[in-house]
Structure 1
Amino acid sequence: MLPLFYAISLGIILGLRLLVLVAIADYRIPRMILPAANQSLTGVVMGVFLFSKNFLLLALVLQVFFGLGFILLIWAIDRPLYRTFQIRGLDFLNSFLAHLTDGSRALEDFFRKIGEEVTVPQVTIFFRRPKKKGLILTVPNVHPGPMGEIGGGNLPRGMQAGFQEMVMVPHGAATHDFNLVSEREIEKLVQAVAGSTRDLKFSQDATRSVRYQHGSVSILCQVFDETLLMVGTRSPERTEDLDFNIGMTIMSEGHRSFPHVAFIDAHNCYAGDMTYVLPATRLAMEYYHAGVRAIDETPLMERFPFELGISHVQVPFSREQGFGDQGIQMAVVKAGGQTTAYLLVDGNNMEGGVREAIRDFLLQSVDDAEVMTTDSHVVNTISGKNPVGLHVPVSEIIPCVNDALCQAMADMSPAEAAGSTAWCEGIVVFGSHRITQMASTVNTILLFIPVLSAGMLFLVFLLSILVYFMIG
């Protein structure tokens, strides 16, 4: 029986090498058969000298059996994704591994195949000051994912590259369904925002900031001439992605009083899962009612000339530690004797309690403050969990926040603001429910592949024994 087991082991080696090579090198099986077979064929040659003359026929037949068995297994792995999305699962895996190892952007080609075009509003507030650097606060309603440099993963840096002013890019209302499929889509957003500057009407008027609470939702609001700025959070409870339709509903309600409504999801409390806030749920209605109250009351607030101070601090922390390329940005607004700080950290959410610790520190110097993240997925490669504060204690973050605050306060000067709403057309995103469909397909594959693999190996073993006795 020793020749049989030796021949079986060579067949398994062939199959496993073929499976690994199509997964990490080239998904096209014909190109990988010879590289996969060279080791097992060498073993066959050695076996000819060790065993009887019938071993050559036995080994070659088993090589064919195991090769065909693993080819069928590879086909079964590949087929579900191809039928659903017209993409090759193992080719997708090739590209994913290439991204991890050498930064390849081949994944973007797959995302573009499954993507769909959308039109989304992007509200921007432009601030200008005499003889000082301006600020662009722009709220894209797309998602800065899916990971690393792929797609919109580094959206904040991409937006900054398009303008001379300091650009703050907080998170809008969007889930992973609105992930940009390619970095090239960022340029479309930049062009849309730049195009919205043609008819800007600047004003020195701003209200004091005011906070509205409904249930677990708190929204910090401030009006700049005809633009309403809203920053929503549920921290210290989970504050994750809001469905696009929730943001659109609040913005549409706001158009009763304001031409431009910038709604920001502060995205500042990671609480162990990444459940989206979906339309018509209790949480969605809390956001809605808090927003409607703000929309009803802020038009009546008194306006004042305002001052603005800005700062941009590069932090001594890496992407692996949860901080993106834009570091920490701050805008401090003083209107009617009240000072409000808007702090934006380039990262994907915050550990629970980090927002509160930073905000408490800021409130020692200002009247109100909100701490936001960009939701940049440049800090994520394999895992989606890498919030600010997970790897770096908040005690080490606060000195950077203090630097940003001191610089912004020293930078205060009279300012003017103007709002715009750019309709960004032809933006290619993953598409509605694509993430859910893909996850469901992959889960199905993972469910049946172990059973299929075991059945295939059992059948091949039986055939191997049958062939052994027929030849032997």
Structure 2
Amino acid sequence: MVQKGKTLAGISRYVRKSPKWYYFLLPVVFIFLIDYIILGNFPALSIISIMPFILLLIIDFGTIRFTNKKFNNNRIMYLDFVSLCLATLFFWIGILLNPIISMPYYYILALAIAFPAFLRFLVLYIYYPSSMFTALLLSMNYTFSYIIIALVFYNINHIATRFIVPLIAATVIYVMFSYMFLLFTTIGFTKKYKSRPSELIDFFLNRDNDGAIGEKFFSHVYNKKKQIPVVTTNIKKGNEGLVTLVFPYVHPGPFGNLCTSNLPIKISSELGMDNIMVFHTATTNSNNCSGKDDIKKIAASVKHSLEKMKYSDFVSDFVKFHVDGYDVSLQKFGNSGISAVIPYQKSFDDISLSAGLKVMKALIKNGAENFALLDAQNSFTRDADELDNCDMIINPLIKEFKSTDSKYPAFIGYARSYEKIEGLASMGIQALVLKINDYYNAIVLTDSNNISRDIIKMARAGSDKRVKNMDIYTTDNHVVNVGELDINPLGMHCDPGPVAELINNTVLKAIENSGPATIGTHTEYINVTMGEENAFHNLMETVLLSIRKAKYSIAFVLIISMFISVLSFRYIVFHL
């Protein structure tokens, strides 16, 4: 079984970026040098090794790049380098074993040249999910390059049965077994999700994908109707809106711009509001929604709440306490409140919807008019498990809620800043400050998928002396994931210093913009289409099962394909 906390970040090690072309130069020279020692002369080296490899590069650049713009130059160079390595290694082993297998060198060469077709088809199948025939033909390009070279330098009557026919036969056998291997390892995935895994992998590997493939696939994952709360808090200065806080019990994923990924800007655009903070509530990747209709429903619920809510002039001080290895914060607006669970001694990644709703219902049962539980998502820890039980915080939180009074006049400021920073999405950095006596409490929200601890430490250390408490949360926005399977937390691929400075500048702007305010909160319940409980874990389990099947069966399939290729030579080709 897959662990509860397993995410696609955890399987990112199975996808690697292609190295730059210059890393292949020395290994290729080394391969040609060994071939020269084996073959004994440069003309043979040129015909058997150098020219076919150069021709392969030309053919692949001409065919693959022409038919698939996503298969970039580095990928072609890498694929061709690996093809050369596989063929060469097979040839060297065949030469060493020739005293045992007693096979002519040109048959060993044919088997070696055909061998890379197995891997090439596995790779190209991903990039041509709707054109199996194209993937099949392109996987044979190494074979075609040798056939062309052979026809240029040799008489076809002399080489047709001794080289070309064996080469084509072996290539077809390897491609056939490669296809059978794919069917075997992915049959569970295909049955469960009614989609070829190549289509989904193609989406992950290509940043410029239009999303149609991903939307089609995830419609099979996120397809259950569920009622969820949307809590809205509106803050006004006089008769003008200062900022609206939205707490939708919907997860902002899964990837790129798909489904409810990029949720903050989508809600902002749907409402036509720039001054809006969309927080990450107690939800997991199983609670991603299917698409645009759900965004419209969330936006409509916010509008309804704005029409119905009652306003208060008072807020509480900011409270934070420890429970069972976690920090728990509390901020009350009138008789409503928000609370965030924050990693302290224990790490986690996402809080289950059922656990969050249980806390919410307990607080409302004990006097809260409205309540939202947040996942701060502010302490990046790779492969952290989900938090699927929050029972330990319920009684302490009820106690704090009852003992914490909203007795301070609401004096609130808001600001939003944006700079183009790796890992920061379009809503940028937002700050909400509440003045309590002569100091401020700041709630900062970064539109990112988690954040590094370094940024938080630097921001707190450099904050204005008037700021007594600063909590930094993230939207958990999965839009920054689009280029790879990793989660790309803010601070991992950028200098944390400028981010911390931008946070503090935004807080200062919010302080300068602060003034007397009124606050209203209301909760609406809507029906959305999201994944069932553990939907994302089931997806991970299915993907990893396919990977395990591939890992444990690849050697067997390769051996069988090689054995049949050799048999076809001995009992078919030798008799032509």
Once the two structures are TM-superposed, the CA of residue 425 in structure 1 deviates from its matched residue by 0.8
- Tell me the CA shift for residue 221 of structure 1: 2.1
One-letter amino acid matched to 1:379? V
Establish whether residue 409 from structure 1 lines up as the match of residue 511 from structure 2: yes
Q: What CA distance in whole angstroms lies between the structure 1 residues aligned with 2:142 and 2:128? A: 17
Query: Which of 300, 304, 309 is 2:413 aligned to?
Result: 309
Superposition map of 1:181-196 within 5 A: 181-182=290-291, 185-196=294-305
1:277 aligns with 2:387: yes
User: What is residue 532 of structure 2 aligned with on the other side?
Assistant: 431
Q: Which residue of 1 aligns with 2:258?
A: 150
Matches of 2:457 and 2:300 in 1, distance apart? Answer: 36
Larger-Rg structure: 2
Amino acid across the alignment from 1:326: M
C-alpha contact (below 8 Å) 1:236/1:353 kept by paired residues: no
More helix by share: 2
Check the 8 A contact 1:142/1:178 in 2, yes or no.
yes
More strand by percentage: 1
Local SS of the residue matching 1:113: coil
Q: How is 1:382-397 mapped onto 2 (pairs within 5 angstroms)?
A: 382-397=484-499
Counterpart code for 2:506: A
After superposition, the C-alpha distances for 1:291-325 in whole angstroms (9 at most, x for unaligned) are 22223323xx253431221101113x42xx32222
Q: Provide the C-alpha distance between the structure 2 equivalents of 1:353 and 1:183, rounded to a whole number of angstroms.
A: 36
Aligned mates of 1:55, 1:397 — CA distance in 2 = 63
Among 358, 361, 373, the residue aligned to 1:249? 358
Q: Using a 3 Å threshold, how does the CA distance of structure 1 residues 165 and 305 change in structure 2: closer, same or farther?
A: farther
Matched residues, number: 461
Task: Indicate the residue corresponding to 1:213 in structure 2.
Answer: 322
> Aligned partners of 2:468, 2:382: CA distance in 1, in Å?
31
- Paired position in structure 2 for 1:290: 396
Change (3 A) 1:369 1:468: closer
Aligned mates of 1:41, 1:220 — CA distance in 2: 66
Match of 1:23 among 110, 122, 126: 126
What's the offset of the Cα at 1:164? 2.5
Amino acid in structure 2 at the alignment position of 1:265? D
CA contact (8 A) 1:344 1:372 kept: yes
Aligned match of 1:79: 187
Cα contact 1:268–1:373 (8 A) shared by 2: yes
CA drift at 1:259: 2.2
Counterpart-to-counterpart distance in 1, 2:461 and 2:228: 35
* Deviation of 1:149 (Å): 2.3
Query: Alignment partner for residue 264 of structure 1, among 359, 363, 374?
Result: 374
Aligned to 1:371: 472
Q: Answer with 354-363 or 414-423: which moved more.
A: 354-363
Q: Is the 8 A contact 1:150 1:183 kept in 2?
A: no
For the residue of structure 1 that corresponds to 2:311, the secondary structure is coil
- Matching residue's letter, 2:132: I
Shift of 1:190: 1.6
329 and 2 in structure 1: CA distance in 2 versus 1, 3 angstrom threshold: same
SS in structure 2 at match of 1:269: coil
SS of residue paired to 2:204: helix
Distance 1:113 1:267, change over 3 A: same
| Farther-moved stretch of structure 1 (117-126 vs 345-354) | 345-354
Q: CA-to-partner distance for each residue in 1:329-361, whole Å, 9 max, x for gaps?
A: 111122566632111111122223543442354
Amino acid aligned to 2:214? L
| Post-superposition offset of 1:363 | 6.7
Could you say what secondary structure the match of 1:262 adopts? strand
Q: Which amino acid aligns with 1:207?
A: S
SS at match of 2:247: strand
Paired position in structure 1 for 2:450:
349
The letter of the residue matching 1:267 is Q
Does the 8 Å CA contact 2:114/2:142 hold for their aligned counterparts?
Answer: no
| RMSD over equivalenced CA pairs, Å | 2.7
State the alpha-carbon separation in 1 of the partners of residues 326 and 209 from structure 2.
Answer: 42
Match of 2:284 in 1: 175
Query: 1:124 maps to what in 2?
Result: 232
Aligned residues of 2:287 and 2:531 also touching (Cα < 8 A): yes
Change (3 A) 1:211 1:71: closer
- One-letter code of the match for 1:290? P
SS at match of 2:398: helix
* Structure 1 position 371, deviation (Å): 1.5
Residue deviations 1:12-68 (CA, integer Å, cap 9, x gap):
344444333221123543454344446535645746455264555544443442232
Mapped contact 1:79–1:89 kept (Cα < 8 A): no
1:82 deviates by 1.0
* Greater Cα shift, 400-409 or 385-394: 385-394
1:120–1:423 CA contact under 8 A, matched in 2: yes
Contact kept, 8 Å, 2:222 with 2:288, in 1: the verdict is no
Q: In 2, distance between residues paired with 1:296 and 1:108?
A: 45
Residue identity in the other structure for 2:321: Y
Output the amino acid matched with 1:310.
Y
Q: Is the CA contact 1:235–1:268 (under 8 Å) kept in the aligned structure 2?
A: no
Find the aligned partners of 2:499 and 2:144 in 1 and give their Cα distance: 59
Supply the AA of the counterpart residue of 1:296. Answer: K
User: Is 1:3–1:51's contact at 8 Å kept on the other side of the alignment?
Assistant: no
- Give the aligned partner of residue 221 of structure 2: 114
Deviates most, 325-334 or 128-137: 128-137
Unaligned runs of 5+ in 2: 1-103
Q: Which amino acid aligns with 2:309?
A: L
Aligned partners of 1:187 and 1:109: how far apart in 2? Answer: 20
- Partner Cα distance (1:239, 1:60) in 2: 54
CA distance in 1, matches of 2:314, 2:565: 84
Quote how far apart the aligned CAs of 1:225 are.
2.4
Q: Distance in 2 between matches of 1:58 and 1:389?
A: 55
The residue type paired with residue 192 of structure 1 is: S
1:456 partnered with 2:557: yes
Q: Take 1:454 and 1:27, find their aligned partners in 2: how far apart are those partners?
A: 27
The unaligned stretches of length 5 or more in structure 1 are: none
Letter in 1 for 2:124: L
Describe the shift of the 1:2–1:390 C-alpha distance in structure 2 as closer, same or farther (beyond 3 A). Answer: same
Q: Distance in 1 between matches of 2:199 and 2:377?
A: 34
Q: Is the 8 A contact 1:27 1:90 kept in 2?
A: no
CA contact (8 A) 2:356 2:373 kept: yes
Judge conservation of contact 2:106–2:162 (CA < 8 Å) in 1.
no
Could you tell me how far apart the structure 1 residues matched to 2:376 and 2:432 are? Answer: 15
Of 5-14 and 163-172, deviating more is 5-14
* 1:453 Cα deviation from its structure 2 partner: 2.7
User: Is the CA contact 1:226–1:419 (under 8 Å) kept in the aligned structure 2?
Assistant: no
Residues 185, 549 of structure 2: 8 Å contact kept:
no
Secondary structure at 1:367's aligned position in 2? strand
